[in-house]
Amino acid sequence: MAKNLFHRCIKQETRFLSSREIDKDYNGRNGEPGNGGKISESGMHGLLEMEVKIITIVFWDIQGFSALCHSLEITPGLLTLFLKEFFEAATQVILEQGGVVDKFLGDGVMALFGTDSNLDHGVSTSAICAASAALKFRKRFELLELRWKKVWQGYTPYQINIGLKCGINTGCAAVGNIGAKEYRYFTAFGINVNLANRLASLASNNDILVSVTTKSKIFEKFELLEKGIVDDLKNIPGSFEVFSVIRKK
């Protein structure tokens, strides 16, 4: 059964690679290194360094960050310091749980669990580590938010409301180094990466949404809440069961 599933994943990702299309939504924003786009024929050599693996992908995003930027537009330095602490906290939690920081995305973070850097982890263990990282980061973010709100309110009359959204999915993805001769980076891409990104977009404040595949790997260790079925995900056909991670059992 598992072997057949893996072969189906391989076929799925091979079809994806042959289109030579990388989803722009998760591969960078605002002209940052790693921005998505089409890979030319001359750039296909980068794909030869990539492998299809079953990994767990995590996206975090700050809800209300655009409004926060507007409220504090006269003091951008405060936002810079906040983001520095935000990224440092995320990195620490991800590394503690054996993950890899793929990239920072404006006010978001993408992380991978189960790649070459943590080969001792099985698929289930990597998914459990990803969910553990999400819970730990949620707690750290709550403390970060509380402390920074006290600072921000001294510079703006507006009420500040932000929250941390998280999406997690487990599945096959192309993993490895990609880029140009002048600049290469380690990343993962494919439909399962896109799904994790969409789940983060769907999440509400301080919510951790996971796919049914991730749920099947972590349900014995975590208390989960069924959120229903979603079928309106951008560029991803089909219906998907979604669950929320509440706490460890």
pTM value is: 0.81
User: Is 81 within a domain?
Assistant: yes
Rounded CA separation 178/198 (Å)? 23
Above 50 in pLDDT, residue 11? no
User: Is 14 within a domain?
Assistant: no
Span 58-87, mean pLDDT? Answer: 93
Residue type, 192: N
User: Is 42 within a domain?
Assistant: no
93 phi/psi in degrees, rounded to 5: -65, -45
Q: What integer pLDDT is reported at residue 4 of this predicted model? A: 47
Above 90 in pLDDT, residue 233? no
Q: What integer pLDDT is reported at residue 43 of this predicted model? A: 36
What separation in angstroms does the CA of 131 have from each of 59, 121, 127, 128, 223?
A: 11, 14, 6, 5, 11
Share of the chain above pLDDT 70, in %: 78
**Tens digits of residue pLDDT in 86-125:** 999 999 999 999 999 999 998 999 999 998 644 556 899 9
Segment among 30-39, 79-88, 209-218 with least mean pLDDT: 30-39
Q: What integer pLDDT is reported at residue 120 of this predicted model? A: 54
Residue 142 belongs to domain with CATH number? 3.30.70.1230
Rounded CA separation 152/160 (Å)? 8
Average pLDDT of the chain to the nearest whole number: 82
Domain that holds residue 200: 55-169+190-248
User: Is 174 within a domain?
Assistant: no
Rounded CA separation 245/207 (Å)? 8
Contact assessment for residue 99 and residue 107, using Cβ atoms and an 8 Å cutoff: no
Rounded CA separation 145/31 (Å)? 27
Rounded CA separation 107/104 (Å)? 7
Q: What integer pLDDT is reported at residue 6 of this predicted model? A: 41
Above 60 in pLDDT, residue 2? no
Considering its fold, how many domains does the chain have in total? 1
Q: What integer pLDDT is reported at residue 158 of this predicted model? A: 86
Above 60 in pLDDT, residue 20? no
User: Is 175 within a domain?
Assistant: no
Rounded CA separation 165/172 (Å)? 23
Q: What integer pLDDT is reported at residue 116 of this predicted model? A: 63
Q: Which residues of 42-61 are buried (b: 16+ CB within 10 A; e: fewer)?
A: eeeebeeebebbbbbbbbbb
pLDDT band at 1 (very low <50, low <70, confident <90, very high): very low
Q: What integer pLDDT is reported at residue 46 of this predicted model? A: 40
**Tens digits of residue pLDDT in 203-213:** 998 999 999 99
User: Is 27 within a domain?
Assistant: no
Q: What integer pLDDT is reported at residue 12 of this predicted model? A: 45
**Tens digits of residue pLDDT in 172-217:** 999 998 888 788 888 999 999 999 999 999 999 899 999 999 999 9
Above 80 in pLDDT, residue 10? no
User: Is 149 within a domain?
Assistant: yes
User: Is 24 within a domain?
Assistant: no
Rounded CA separation 24/182 (Å)? 21
